[in-house]
Chains A and B, each alone.
Chain A
Amino acid sequence: MTLQTYFMEATYLVASILFVLSLKGMSHPETARRGMFMAEAGMFAAIVGTLVGTEIVSWVWIIAGLTIGSIIGAWMAIWVPMTAMPQRTALSHAFGAFAAAMVGIGEFIVRGSELGAITRGALGFEVMLGALTTTGSLIACGKLQGIIHGKPIQFRGQNIINLLVALSMVGCFVYFWMHPEAAAVFYTMLGLAFVFGIMLVIPIGSADMPVVMSLLNSYAGLASAATGFVLGNNVLIIAGTLDGFSGFILSVLMCKAMNRSITNVLFGGFGSVVAEATSNVGGVMREISLDDAAMQLAFANRVVFVPGYGLATAQAQHAVRELAELLEARGVSVKYAIHPVAGRMPGHMNVLLAEANVPYSSLYEMEQINPEFPSTDVAVVIGANDVVNPDARDNPKSLIAGMPILEVDRAKSVIVLKRGQGRGFSGLENPLFFKPRTTMLYGDAKSTLSHLAQAVQHV
């Protein structure tokens, strides 16, 4: 080994350590930023190390790629709004996975049949995972952005066709593994993987995106790790594995938060089910006037806001913070209850509220806030439905039975802000709305909240 190679390996080791430390920093908002600087330093070191340690001749492609990538990346980092964070993340999963697939194909072109059996296995895995994650993430991005309809796209025999595509893909993989010179089979596998990625994500509805995003995150990471196996490069294995496992952990958490299994999310096509199993709760929904609602809030001791995705679509984050500040100025204690799947990706709602200057110390997780609802005077539900549906807890026949909910129905009174009388994404009736202590306030969340704020000022 030459001196340059030793230097390169040293930078890789440093990068690996810095990556782990940076994720450790993520355990608290105060240390998270410092952690990210470490990761950036590690990345920089690894890039310099690679350029020094490899026999590079054509700088043109490298400089062009780095420049174009930096410009697009910086543009995204500066201009993408926080509401579009899920789309951006999906897109970056696609990019990461695509890079892995490209490196895999490149390795195949360069080394071709001289690859050993083990490397070939890793290579096939890398290319397959990379390709299917690329198209899958693009579809997810399109759904989140609204380019593709968010409703699940389903047809008869879908699962069988998916299975056939998957099987032929794996078949090609096995054939390629045994006959490394069969380039046509390799490229067929690549094509099938691209198709399979699409098939995998189109039947999934927008509301299931938190799980899908996490899964694709995991796949993209594992594709990187497989690249590491192909190239015999440890820092790639480490970084890819960290990414893969992070995605995996998040998928499990998201599934738990919806009380569903990963298989059910992938093959269930949940959002399309028109619910019959609705417990027919009789009774009427009582409307409340703006002034009465303002009065109730102004004279409460404890208020909990429960934001759902409806808050984000109405862009009402700032309006809710303004109302909260007015209430706090009157001595009301205000907290926010965040359900794990309140947004379109894990933790999304926290980011949206943080952007609107809500201090993170007032954001409470489900487990923390649920015991506090009985002593809460007013719970204000804004654009959330299924995550506060008491049927999930009380009615074992309900479609969402067993899904952990924010137990707002235990609060002394509940005000529900809703656009209209329609049902939530699952199509389920929500008995919460018919409870005697619940009142409804219809209208656009943003304008309702700012009117409430004005009314509170005049109380």
Chain B
Amino acid sequence: MKRLMNPAVLIASVYVFALAAFLGYQVISRVPPLLHTPLMSATNAISGISLIGSLVLAGKAHYPLGAHILGFVAVTTATINVVGGFGITDRMLKMFGKRKTEPAAKGVAK
């Protein structure tokens, strides 16, 4: 993780960014409005991946105490997002999974 940003790494990173943006656009524009709230809480949980940056800050060798404490705060808030975000997304999606069985003939549209 100690990679410094030289121009070659930057260019690679910009590639990753641009491709992720493109892919994100393709994938996310297919999400129906029905699921926009779960989508928002899911992407939120996913971007809680900044947790891994926080972990390093909180625990890496030779870092000053100040950095460890900032890291601790960041680990806490990011973990809240990851655990809370995935938990609540799942709770919502479970509600959408429920199907009523009896009037199956009605409401054919997706």
Measured in the bound complex, the distance between the Cα atoms of B42 and A347 in whole Å is 13
> Which B residues touch A89, using CB under 8 A?
37, 40-41, 44
What is the size category of the interface that chain B forms with chain A?
35 or more
Given A29-B34, A106-B70, A328-B103, CB of A245 within 8 Å of CB of B59: no
Report how far A47 CA is from B82 CA in the complex, Å. Answer: 11
Would A54 and B1 count as touching, CB distance under 8 A? yes
Say whether A363 contacts B40, CB under 8 Å: no
Tell whether A446 is near chain B: CB-to-CB under 8 Å: no
A381 nearest CB across to chain B (Å): 19
* Complex-state Cα separation, A58 to B37, whole angstroms: 38
Q: What B residues does A351 contact at CB under 8 A? A: 37-38, 92, 95
Say whether A266 faces chain B, with CB atoms less than 8 Å apart: no
B47 engages A96 (CB within 8 Å): yes
The secondary-structure label for the interface of chain B is: helix
The answer to whether B100 and A359 touch across the interface, beta carbons within 8 angstroms, is yes
Cβ proximity bits B75-106 to A, threshold 8 Å, 1 near / 0 not: 11111111111111111111111111001001
Residue-wise, chain A 210-244 has the 8 Å CB interface mask toward B (1 for contact) of 00011001001100110111111111111111111
What residues of chain B lie closer than 8 Å to A55, measured between beta carbons?
A: 60-61
Q: CB-nearest residue of chain B relative to A362?
A: B107
Contacts of B87 in A (CB 8 A): 73-74, 76-78
Is the beta-carbon distance between B13 and A228 smaller than 8 angstroms?
A: yes
How distant is the Cα of A332 from the Cα of B29 in the complex, in angstroms?
Answer: 34
Instruction: Say yes or no: B80 contacts A241, CB within 8 Å.
Output: no
Flag if B107 contacts A359 (CB, 8 Å): yes
Closest 10 CB pairs of A and B: A69-B79, A77-B87, A65-B75, A347-B36, A73-B83, A73-B84, A243-B47, A346-B36, A232-B3, A102-B74
Taking beta carbons and an 8 Å cutoff, which residues of B are in contact with A?
1, 3-7, 9-10, 13, 16-17, 20-21, 23-25, 27-61, 63-64, 66-100, 103, 106-110
* A-to-B contact residues, CB < 8 Å: 15, 19-20, 22-24, 26-30, 32-33, 36, 39-40, 43, 46-47, 49-51, 53-59, 61-62, 64-66, 68-70, 72-74, 76-78, 80, 82, 85, 88-89, 92-93, 95-96, 98-100, 102-103, 105-107, 109-110, 116, 118-119, 122, 213-214, 217, 220-221, 224-225, 227-247, 249-250, 253, 328, 333, 335, 338, 340, 343, 345-348, 350-351, 354-355, 357, 359-365, 368
